[in-house]
Structure 1
Amino acid sequence: MPKVLCCMCGVLMESNAANTCSTCLASKSDITRGISTEATLHQCRGCGRWHKDAGKWVACELESRELMGLCLGHVSGLKPPKGHASNQQDKIRLVDAGWIWTEPHSMRLKVRLTVQREVQAGTILQQSFTANFTVRNQQCLECAAEFRQGTWKSVVQVRQRVTHKRTFLYLEQLILKHGAHRGCLSIETFRDGMDFYFPDKGKAARFICFLESVVPIKLKTSKKLISTDIKSNIANYKFTNLAEICPLCKDDLLYLPAKTARNLGNIARLVLVKNISEVIHLLDPLTGQTASMSGDVFWRDPLRPIVTAARSRMTRYVVLGKEAVFLRQNASQRTANRKQRSRLARLTLAREEDLGSNDAQYEEQSHVGYLMKAGDVCLGYDLKDTALSEDDAETVRANGGFPNVIVIRKLYGGAAAMEEQGGDDLHDDSVAVAAAAAKKNRIWRLKRLQVKAGDEDETMMETGERMSKKKLAKLAEQEEMDEEDFMREVEADKEMRQNINLYKAQDVIAKKAMDDAMDDEDDDDDEDDQAIQLEELLDNLVLDDPADKPTAAEGNAAPAFSEDGTLILSSMYEEGERAAKDGIHYVSREDVRNVRDKDAPVVVTSQSKPGKDFSDLL
C-alpha cells in the first residue's frame, strides 16, 4: 500500500480514505456522540426498590452488579434500536464500567464508562466518559397499597384452637427465617391466630403453600364480590382463606386408638407429640420409639390430648439419681435406633413441692434421661391423679399399665429457678422476678414480626373499663408466660433450633465470659448436648430497630432498615466493598478529583471484547 503524508500534521503514513493519521483522526472525533450522559432513576422510599420498566420494581444494593445493569439500561446510544441495521463502524462496544464515589445524601449516582468504535477500516478509537444519574423518589404499587383503605385482595387467616400461643411463636420464627411474609401488606394478631393481608391472590397462595410445608393445616376458602363491570364482564373479588392448624402441640400427651397405634408401626398407645412439622411426629417416652402421622390421617379422625402442654398441667420434679437403660431390638421397636435406645435412663424423681414434707419418690423410665444428672430440675406430667376421658385408658391405668410420671424436658439456666405454677399463683411477684431474670441471663435473642392488634384485641382495650384490672393483668401476663414457655422449649430442643435463627446477646455474652473466667469449675461428666452453644448464634441483630419490615422483592435478599424505617442498602458493606465483590471498578473519594467528565479518544491497536460482567446487562 503506498504511503502518503497526513493532510493535517504531515506525518508519513499508509494511505487511507481520509488521508489522515490515527492521531489526528482521534483529535477531531468524538465517538461518544449520541450517547446520553444524563438520566433519571426512580426509587421507592418505602421498600427501597428501583423502577425498571413496565411497572416492574427490583431490589438492588448500591454498587451492585444489578444496579449497574439498571443504570446501563437508561443510557441511550449504547445499544442500537431494535430493527436498526447498523454497519460495523456505527457499532459501539462497551468494554468497561465502574462506579464513582458520590456523597451518600446527594441523590446522585455516577458511572465511568469506556467504549470503543471503529471509525474507519483498521482504526479503532477508545474513549472514557462519566454518566450521571439523578435519583428521584417514586412510590411503588405495593407501598402505595399499604396507605389506601381496602386495597388487599386476599387474606390468609391462620387459626389454632388452643389456649396458648407457643405454636404461633414458632411459626413466626419459621416465617422470618424463610422470608415467607414478603409481599404481605400488613399482619394482625388475635388471641387464637393471625391474619396476613396480601395485594393479590398469587402471593396469598404462595404463603399458603409455605404453611402446608411447615404445619398440618385444613384450608377453607371463600370470596366476596366487591364490584363488577357489566360492560367488560370484569368482577372485583376479595378472597378469604382460613387455615386451621392442627390443635396438637409439642409435648401434648396422647392416648392413641388401638387401630391407629397398629398403623403407626405398632407404637405404644401412650405417646408424646415430639414436634409438629408438615406431619405430626410422635414419640414413645418409655422406649424412644418414634412414628409420624400425616395431616390427612389426623383430620379424618381428629385426636384430643389427654394432657395438654399447658403450664398448669406441668409439675416440677427434682432428679435424685439415674441409671442407664438399654433395650433389645425387636420388630415392634424397629424405629428406636441404637443411639436413641442408649439415651434411655431410669430416673429417680421427687416432686419439688414435696421436698422436706414427705419422702414420696418415683422411679420412671424416660427418653430424656441421658440429659439429667442428680440435682437437675425437670418438668413432667403427674398421671397418678390425672382424670382420663377414655374408658379403656382408666382400665389400663388401674392395671398398672401407665407410669406415674412422664418427664417432658429439662429446665435450663434461669428457668430452673422459676415457679411452674398456674391459677392464682400465676401472678406471684416471685414468678415475674424469676422470669425477668431468666430472660436477662439468656445469651440469645429472637427476632419478631411487625404486627398490629386485630379488631378483637382493640375492642377489648377500648372496653377495658368494663373488665377488672386483675383480668386485664392476667391476660397480659399470660402472653408473657407463653413467650417464656416457648423460650424454654427452644433451650431444651436442639432439633427445633435448627429451624429458626437465634441471635447473639452481646452484653450477656460479655458478662458471662467474665464470670466464667473467674469460675474454674469444670463439669466433665455432663452429657447434655441440648444446651445452646455460642456457635449456634448469629450476629447483627439490633434490638432497638423496628420489627422486621417485609419487602415485595422477588428473588432478592431483604434489605436492612434504619430506626425511622428508611432503607439502608449498603449497611453490610464498606465503601467500594460491594463493587469489588462483583468485580466492578470503583473510584474512591480520594481519587474522584482526578476524574474528568470526558477523556480524549485514543487509538487502540485491536478491538477489545466486551467484559463478561457487562455483556448481558445491555
Structure 2
Amino acid sequence: MFFNPVRTIKFSLVLSLLTTRNSIFPSFSSMTDGRSLYEYVRPSKSMVVIRFRSFSSSSSDSFSASSSFSFSFSCSFWFSFSFSSPPDSSTSLPGVDSSGSSTLTFLVTSRSASCLRFRSTMMKLTLSFVVSQIKARTSCTQSISYSSLFQLIASLIIMSNYTHLQNTPAQVATVLCCNCGVPMDGSSGLVMCHDCIKLTVDITEGIPREANLSFCRNCERFLQPPTQWIRCALESRELLALCLRKLKGLNKVRLVDASFIWTEPHSRRIRVKLTVQGEAMANTIIQQTFEVEYVVVAMQCADCAKSYTTNTWRATVQIRQKVAHKRTFLYLEQLILKHNAHVDTVNIQETKDGLDFFYAQKSHAAKMVEFLTAVAPVKNKRSEELVSQDIHSGSSQYKFTFSIELAPICRDDLVVLPKKLAHSLGNITRLVLCSKVSSMLHFIDPSTLQTADLNAPQYWRSPFPTLLDATQMVEFIVLDVEPTGDIRGKNVLADVTVSRASDLGTNDQTYYIRSHLGAILHPGDSCMGYFLTNTNLNSDLWDTLDTDNTPEVVLVKKHYERKSKKSKYRNWKLKRMAKEYNEMDDATRQARQEQEKAERDYELFLQELEEDEELRQTVNMYKAPTQAQFESDMDDDDEAPEVGLDELLDEMDEMTIS
C-alpha cells in the first residue's frame, strides 16, 4: 500500500499519542475495578470513535475475559471486532463459550455507494492484515495489549484518510473532417471521418474481378492448380473453395462471407459474392462486398488425352467367361455402373469372350479386381511386361495385366456335382440347378428343395462344367399340380404333370415329375425346363450317375407369353457403358450375327429382370421416356410381369433447372 508521506507523519503522531495511555486515556487507571469504560476519542478530523469495555479485573494494559471495541470514521465504513476468551473460574459471563476457544468476528458495512468498489477493495486488504495480526497474537496468549491494538486502529485511520482515485473524463480534442467537415475525435490521429473513409478507400483494390476456371468436358472435372483434376458439382462447397483459391489478393484481407449468385448453366459463367474486412487507415477496419465472375474455359485433362491415344495405359483388366451367351456380362455391367467401379478407366473394349478395362495406374486396376472378386466367383492371374529401363538410375517401366476368369456356370444352368464335392456340401443330390450367382454359386435340388452354396476357392480347386445351359431349355405345358406341403422360402415342392408343347396334337405323352415351382405353376401354364430323356449328353459326370433314378424332365422357370410390341416398349430402361468393339468389322456377316445374338441375349436379360424381383434390387433401373410409357400403357398384354414405377429411378443426366 502507498500513502501520502505528510499524512503518514500526521498519523504517526496520532499513533504515538494513542500509545501513551495515561495522557490520552486517563480513565484507564480506573479499569482495574472492572466497571470503567472509555467513551470515545477524536484525535483528528477523521472522527475516530473508539469504545472499550472490560468485565474482568486484569491489568490496565490488556483485555482478558470478554472485551469488545468499535470505531468509525469519515469514510462511511463501520467495523466491529469482538474477542472472546475462556473465562476464569471466578468469572461467569453470558454468551461466552465455555469450551475455552478464542473467537474473532467482524462486520463491515458501507454507507457510500459512489466509492464502494474502491473502498471495498482497500478495506479487504486492511481487514485481512488486521485479522492475521490479531490471530497471530491470540494464538499465543489470551490477551492483547492496548499498544498493539491502537497500532492496528491507526492503520485503519490512515486508510480512511487515503485520497481515492476518481475517474474524471479527459478533455477530448475535436477536429473537422478534411472531406466533409463533420466534427470528429482528434485523438485517433485521423483526418477523415469513418463515412468518408468507407466512400473513398477501397480495400479490395488488389483483388481481381474476373478469373478463369479450367473444365474438362469429357470427364466433367475442374482443374485445381497445378495438375490435379477434381469433380465439383455446381454451387457446391468444393467449387466455392476452388474459386477462392484462384483469387491472388485475397490473403491481404479477412474473408467474412462467400456465396454463389445464380447463373444460367449454359452461359459458362460462375459468379461469387464476397464480403471482406480490412484496415483502411490507422486502426480503422471497414467491410466491403464485391462480386467476382469466373469464366469456365473448356479444355482436355491429361487422363482424357491419354484415353484417345494408343498404348498409354499402365494396367489392364481382362475379364473372360467361356460360355455361349453374354447374359453374365450384361449383369456384371449393371453392377459396375451401380457401384461406379468404372470411373477410373481410360478405355473399355469389348471382345468376343469378354471385356477389357484399361487404367492409367496399377492401383486402379487392383481396385477393379477387388470389386470383381466381391461380386462374382472369379480367379485372377497377374502378369507384367517390361516397357523401358534406365540403366543409370535403375528405374523400370512396366505394364501390368490382370486376367480375370469367371466361373462358366450361370443362373438356371443344370450341373452335375462331383461325388466328393456333393458329399462335402451336405450330401446333396448330384444333379442340381444353379439358382443364383454372386460371389458364391447357389444350387438347389428341385426334387427335395435342398440347397447348397459353393464359394469361389472351392470351385476353382475342382472345377466342373455345366451339363445344360439356358439355350437348351424346352417349353412344357402344365397339366396338373399337386403340392406336397414342403415349403422352403419362396419354393414350394409339388408333383407336376407336364407335356411337351411340341407334342400337343401329335401324341399323348406326359411326364410326372417333382418340381420346386409349386407356388407359381397352375394347370394350363407354360414353363421352361430340360428334357433329359431325349437329349444326348456328353459328360463324364453324367455317365457316373444312376440314370434309373434321374428325372426325365427338370423344370426351371415359368414361361410368359410376350408380344413383340410389349418387348419393344417398356416403361423402364437400363444404362449402358460406352464400349469400343475390338476385332470386329460391322460389314461382315459374322459381325451381323454377333450383333443379333447380342440383342437376343440383352432381351433375355431384360425378361429375367422383369420376372425376378430379387434380381431387380441389385441393379439401377430408370424411367423410360414418355412416349415409351404411353405405348406400354396402351398394350393389352397383361400376362407378363411388369416393373412398378416405385422401383424406377429418375435419370439425373436429363434433368435441367427451369
Aligned pair partner of 1:62 in 234, 253, 269: 234
- The aligned counterpart of 1:574 is 657
Which letter does structure 1 place at the counterpart of 2:646?
A: E
Q: Normalized against structure 2, the TM-score is what?
A: 0.68
SS in 2 for 1:477: helix
Q: 3-state SS of the aligned residue for 1:356?
A: coil
Kindly tell me: are residues 115 and 510 of structure 1, through their superposed partners in 2, closer, same or farther at Cα, counting changes over 3 Å?
A: same
Partner secondary structure for residue 370 of structure 1:
coil
Higher radius of gyration, 1 or 2: 2
Residue among 406, 409, 415 paired with 1:245: 406
Q: CA deviation at 1:141?
A: 0.9
| Residue 5 (structure 1) aligns with | 174
Seen in structure 2, the aligned counterparts of structure 1 residues 512 and 31 have a Cα distance that, compared at 3 Å, is same
Cα shift readout 1:543-571 (whole Å, capped 9, x = no counterpart): xxxxxxxxxxxxxxxxx4xxxxxxxxxx6
Mark the CA change 1:138 to 1:531 in structure 2 (over 3 Å): closer, same or farther: closer
Give 1:585's aligned residue. Answer: none
Partners of 1:188 and 1:159 lie apart in 2 by 12
Asked if structure 2 preserves the Cα contact closer than 8 Å seen for 1:3 and 1:12, the reply is no
- Asked if the contact 2:207/2:247 (under 8 Å) is kept, the reply is yes
Give 1:179's match in structure 2, choosing from 340, 344, 349.
340
Which structure dedicates a bigger proportion of its chain to strand? 2
Three-state SS of the structure 1 residue aligned to 2:429 is coil
Structure 1 stretch displaced more, 176-185 or 387-396: 387-396
- Aligned ranges 1:248-397 → 2 under 5 Å: 248-309=409-470, 311=471, 313-327=472-486, 337=488, 339-340=489-490, 343-389=492-538, 393=542, 397=546
Which residue in the other structure is 1:411 paired with? 559
Match of 2:313 in 1: 152
Equivalent AA in structure 1 for residue 226 of structure 2: A
Partner of 1:592: none
Unaligned runs of 5+ in 1: 81-91, 328-335, 415-433, 542-559, 561-570, 576-618
Is 1:196 the counterpart of 2:368? The answer is no
> In structure 2, the residue corresponding to 1:448 is in which secondary structure?
coil
Are 2:578 and 1:488 aligned?
A: no
Cα 1:138–1:373, aligned 2, differ >3 Å: closer, same or farther? same
1:46 CA drift (Å): 2.4
Equivalent AA in structure 2 for residue 66 of structure 1: E
Structure-1 residue corresponding to 2:647: 536
- Cα 1:348–1:382 change in 2 (3 A) is same
Determine if the alignment matches structure 1 residue 504 to structure 2 residue 587: no
What are the residue-to-residue correspondences of 1:430-441 with 2, within 5 Å? 436-441=564-569
1:402 to 531, 545, 550: 550
Return the match for 1:73 from 239, 242, 245: 245
CA contact (8 A) 2:416 2:466 kept: yes
Map 1:26-65 onto structure 2 (within 5 A).
26-65=198-237
Match of residue 596 from structure 1: none
* Matched-pair contact (CA < 8 Å) for 1:412–1:488: no
Report if aligned partners of 1:159, 1:192 keep a CA contact under 8 Å in 2: yes
Amino acid of the residue matched to residue 64 of structure 1? Answer: S
Seen in structure 2, the aligned counterparts of structure 1 residues 118 and 255 have a Cα distance that, compared at 3 Å, is same
Counterpart-to-counterpart distance in 2, 1:51 and 1:379: 56
Q: Distance in 1 between matches of 2:535 and 2:467?
A: 9
* Higher RCO, Cα 8 Å, sep 6+: 1
Q: CA deviation at 1:122?
A: 7.7
Of 278, 298, 306, the residue aligned with 1:117 is 278
Kept after mapping to 2: 8 A contact 1:6/1:21: no
Residue 607 of structure 2 aligns to a residue whose secondary structure is: helix
Would you say the 8 A contact 2:417–2:541 is kept in 1?
A: no
Q: Distance in 2 between matches of 1:413 and 1:533?
A: 19
Percent of pairs with identical residues: 42
Distance 1:98 1:497, change over 3 A: same
Secondary structure of 2:507's aligned partner:
coil
Greater Cα offset, 496-505 or 153-162: 496-505
1:14-33 maps to which residues of 2 (within 5 A)?
14=185, 15-18=187-190, 20-33=192-205
**Is this contact kept in 2: 1:413–1:438, CA < 8 A?**
no
C-alpha displacement at 1:218, in angstroms? 1.5
1:450 corresponding residue in structure 2 = 578
Change in 2 beyond 3 A, CA 1:265/1:222: same
Matched to 2:609, the amino acid is V
Q: RMSD of the alignment, in Å? A: 2.8
**Structure-2 separation of matches of 1:94 and 1:130:** 13
1:443 and 1:103 map into 2 onto residues whose CA distance is 32
| Corresponding position of 2:598 | 479
Counterpart residue identity of residue 484, structure 2: V
Structure 1 window deviating more from structure 2 (369-378 vs 67-76): it is 369-378
Deviations along 1:345-398, whole A, 9 cap, x unmatched? 333322111112222222333223312233322111112233455677557554
Partner of residue 513, structure 1:
633
Aligned length: 485
Q: Distance in 2 between matches of 1:368 and 1:380?
A: 11
| Aligned equivalents of 2:514, 2:175: Cα separation in 1 | 102
Deviations 1:377-428 (A, max 9, x none): 21111122334556775575543x22222111122351xxxxxxxxxxxxxx
User: Take 2:233 and 2:600, find their aligned partners in 1: how far apart are those partners?
Assistant: 40
Q: Distance in 1 between matches of 2:181 and 2:469?
A: 100
Superposed CA deviations along residues 262-287 of structure 1, whole A, max 9, x for unmatched, are: 32233322211112111111122223
Report the TM-score, using the length of structure 1 for normalisation: 0.72
- Which residue in 1 is equivalent to 2:49? none
Moved over 6 A (4+): none
Deviations along 1:119-171, one digit per CA (max 9) or x if unpaired, are: 57885422111112233233211011022221111111111111111111111
Distance (whole Å) between structure 1 residues aligned to residue 263 and residue 621 of structure 2? 37
| Displacement after TM superposition at 1:118 (Å) | 5.1
Residue segments in structure 2 that go unaligned for 5+ positions in a row:
1-169
Shift of 1:294: 0.8
* Mapped partners of 2:434, 2:521: distance in 1: 20
Alignment partners' CA distance in 2, 1:2 and 1:412:
101
Q: Partner of 1:206 in structure 2? A: 367
Q: Is the 8 A contact 1:5 1:11 kept in 2?
A: no
C-alpha contact 1:158 1:244 (8 A) present in aligned 2: yes
Q: Compare 18-27 and 62-71 and name the one that shifted more.
A: 18-27
Distance 1:51 1:408, change over 3 A: same
**SS of structure 1 residue aligned to 2:176:** coil
Q: Give the AA of the match of 1:403.
A: P
Question: Which amino acid in the other structure matches residue 380 of structure 1?
Answer: G
1:453 alignment partner AA: Y
Give the counterpart letter for 1:262 in structure 2.
H
Q: Is the 8 A contact 1:3 1:13 kept in 2?
A: no
